[in-house]
Amino acid sequence: MASHKTHYEDCDVLVVGGGMAGTGATFEARHWGRDLKIICVEKANIDRSGAVAQGLYAINCYMGMQWGENQPEDHVRYARNDLMGMVREDLGYDMARHVDSTVHMFDEWGLPMMKNEKTGRYLREGKWQIMIHGESYKPIVAEAAKKSADKIYNRIMITHLLMDEEKENRIGGAVGFNMRTGDFHVFRAKTVIVAAGGASHIFKPRAVGEGMGRTWYAPWSNGSAYALPIAVGAKMTQMENRIVLCRFKDGYGPVGAYFLHLKTYTQNANGENYEKKWYNQTKELVGDYIDHHPTPTCLRNHAFIQETIAGGGPIQMVTTEAFQDPHLETVGWENFLGMTVGQAVVWASQNIDPKYTNPELTTSEPYVMGSHATCSGAWVSGPEDLSPPEYFWGYNRMLTVDGLFGAGDTVGGSAHKFSSGSFTEGRLAAKAAVKYIQDQKAEDIKVTDKQCDDFKKAIFKPLETYQVAQNEITGGTVSPSYISPIQGLQRLQRIMDEYVGGIATNYMTNGNMLKRGLELLAWLEEDLEKVGAEDLHQLMRAWELKHRALTSQCVTEHTMFREETRWPGYYYRGDHMKLDDDNWHCLTVSRRDPKTGKFSLEKVPVYHIVDENEKKKAS
Ligand SMILES: Cc1cc2nc3c(=O)[nH]c(=O)nc-3n(C[C@H](O)[C@H](O)[C@H](O)COP(=O)(O)OP(=O)(O)OC[C@H]3O[C@@H](n4cnc5c(N)ncnc54)[C@H](O)[C@@H]3O)c2cc1C
């Protein structure tokens, strides 16, 4: 223990995770809190961290209000439709009304935006997306954060949140360790903004063995955004709402620009439009939702999955028509260069030239995230002027723990934020966090050395476990007295895959399978006390695994609670195959008791604010 030096840092605003939301939060905290001490702590290096590390080719959320292209209400309707009715409209509206200003700043900061030559406006890829040359997107937003923060700490993984010992349910900061030096870091903070991204690799990926790590979602996104708040008893929402993506096979290359800009379309192996074939069957399951426009993402997945089960695969993207146009051909390839170079390499290795061969598509393993076409995450307060009483407790984007805020993938109920919306939500959370401090809600916070020392022991325990247990290795990495992070991860992934609706069962689960999954997850939790780490990198893996395991428990509890199939194509409850608006037109909210580890769940009303307001205005 003595070998791990302890560093203390006291600050006002602590931002955990320097991705899109974290950089937005760090930037905005400085704007409102000129004299405050602002610290951002990042597991990797903020210049190239998070889901946008490699760059993007489109900003997926831009209203274009200055040109009357879309209004926030339109975006709320869009997200509500895509999520089969289940969104926090107050949060979505709040993000949408501010997102354009964020994008205009990106433009000012030098992000190369594509322009429509005829109109001079940003070049639209679809109704919400605008196209960028986005290889350097992340370094550009990182620069804004670096100029705003008192200090950015790279290579520190936050493992636990600290709680105030003076006032119940109030945050006190966070602790973690430096993955290069092995030092222990204590951040005592008046407010904490968790912006640590979503969760990949909790379900077994399609690519295993030599291909492990090749997933759609960034493999380093390990669910800290969920595990950190869950561990301190913050409420979570919609954690059952995992995302499954339709993507180009093996490289997970994005399909958005292909559908929207290149106007490519899908077909089954016989060249048929298979989506039509599944219309009646889908209508049986979800009723009128199948007639909504645009068709909700999960329902398009549903047709894909059913067609594949029925033997109609492989499903293909018809590129051979669009690629005859040299401009579209260029766009098709460039789309990967700024974002997913690997897809081009996969096609090259498989002799696929999309001009002559229609490439294959696949549906991915499920991921958990709050900013894309799903909305798992923390249950947060909305803005004062929009939120109904049940959704409002004083500070925008504050979780149910005082002084703890969230943004981006962390925040549940507000889908379709994407990169620009996550940055925007970081800004909103930071503004509220500064107000919380200015309102003197963060006075006299007490964090004792004992609390920190206990965490220090827990954090470095896997190193000690390995040191002793390595002497009992019987061969390779096999030891009766420890498990390695990779062994634990693979066990977790199989449990989630086989019991909670992964690819092994074509996304199918039921109450009995979930019950069994929960039992197995509980045993895994017990065994993770014996996880061993041979070096600091493995120590990070050990803590990533623990965060993934806790996130998985929450996902499984939520999936068990919602007794309907709300999003066919994302997952199926075989014992409740139909969408059930009579009983389940509501949001699900959970809380894990930090003392007992037991989850309790409740239904919370979903308020359709946008159309209600319009109805009121009309009457
Ligand atoms: C494959 C993919 C493609 C996408 N394509 C687009 C697109 O084309 N257009 C678009 O607008 N949006 C796109 N998005 C969405 C966009 O990337 C996300 O909405 C956005 O990055 C979410 O922001 P965030 O800050 O919540 O998470 P991230 O940006 O992922 O940031 C999370 C940060 O937290 C750090 N972190 C994690 N755990 C810890 C810890 N324990 N301690 C300290 N730091 C930690 C991570 O290293 C990371 O830097 C895409 C997302 C994915 C996954």
- Is 615's pLDDT higher than 70? no
Mapped onto helix, strand or coil, the DSSP state of residue 525 is helix
Q: Tokens for 137?
A: 């997107």
Kindly tell me the burial class for residue 580, based on how many C-beta atoms sit within 10 Å of its own C-beta (0-12, 13-18, 19 or more): middle
DSSP strands (E only) in 453-593: 508-509, 572-573, 586-592
DSSP 438-477: HTTTTTT----HHHHHHHHHHHHHHHHHHHHHGGG--BTT
What lines the ligand 1 site, CB under 6 Å?
Answer: 16-22, 41-44, 49-52, 56, 58-60, 157-158, 195-197, 216-218, 220-221, 224, 371-372, 408-409, 417-420, 422
Which of 52, 114, 216 maximizes ligand 1 atoms within 8 Å of its Cβ, making it the mutation to test the pocket? 52
For the chain, helix, strand, coil in percent to 5 are 40, 20, 40
Q: What is the pLDDT of residue 611?
A: 86
Q: Which residue has the higher pLDDT, 613 or 524?
A: 524
pLDDT for res 617 = 59
Residue reference for tokens 């945050």: 171
User: How large is the average pLDDT for residues 147-173?
Assistant: 98
pLDDT-above-90 percentage for the chain: 90
Q: In whole numbers, what is the pLDDT of the chain averaged over residues?
A: 95
Q: Measured on CA atoms in the order 502, 505, 511, 516, is the torsion positive or negative?
A: negative
Say yes or no to pLDDT of 616 above 70: no
Instruction: Say if residues 39 and 9 touch (Cβ distance below 8 Å).
Output: yes
Rounded to an integer, the average pLDDT of 377-402 is: 97
pTM above 0.95, yes or no: yes
C-alpha to C-alpha distance for 267 and 248, rounded to whole angstroms: 13
Radius of gyration over every alpha carbon of the chain, rounded to an integer in angstroms: 23
**pLDDT tens digits, 108-137:** 999 999 999 999 999 998 899 999 999 999
Q: Which residue has the higher pLDDT, 32 or 125?
A: 32
Task: Answer with the residue of higher pLDDT: 212 or 361.
Answer: 361
Residue 356 contacts residue 320 (beta carbons within 8 Å): yes
Condensed to tens digits (0 to 9), the pLDDT of residues 188-214 reads 999 999 999 999 999 999 998 878 878
Residues 41, 49 contacting (CB under 8 angstroms)? no
Cα 89 to averaged position of ligand 1 atoms, centre (Å): 22
Averaged pLDDT for residues 534-559:
98
**Helix or strand (DSSP H, E) at 152:** strand 151-153
Structure tokens at 92: 């979505």
In this prediction, residue 553 carries a pLDDT of 98
The rounded Å distance from CA 196 to ligand 1 centre is 8
Band of the pLDDT at 619, cuts 50, 70, 90? low
pLDDT digits (tens, 9 = 90+) for 204-242: 999 988 788 788 888 899 999 999 999 999 999 999 999
Looking at residue 280, its pLDDT comes to 97
- pLDDT category, 618, cuts 50, 70, 90? low
Q: Are 203 and 499 in contact (CB under 8 A)?
A: no
Q: How many CB atoms lie within 10 A of CB 64?
A: 17
Are 75 and 416 within 8 A, CB to CB?
A: yes
Q: Whose CA is nearest to atom 31 of ligand 1?
A: 19
Q: What is the mean pLDDT of residues 161-189?
A: 98
Find out whether 523 and 492 touch, Cβ atoms under 8 Å.
Answer: no
CA angle 492, 498, 500 (to 5 degrees): 80
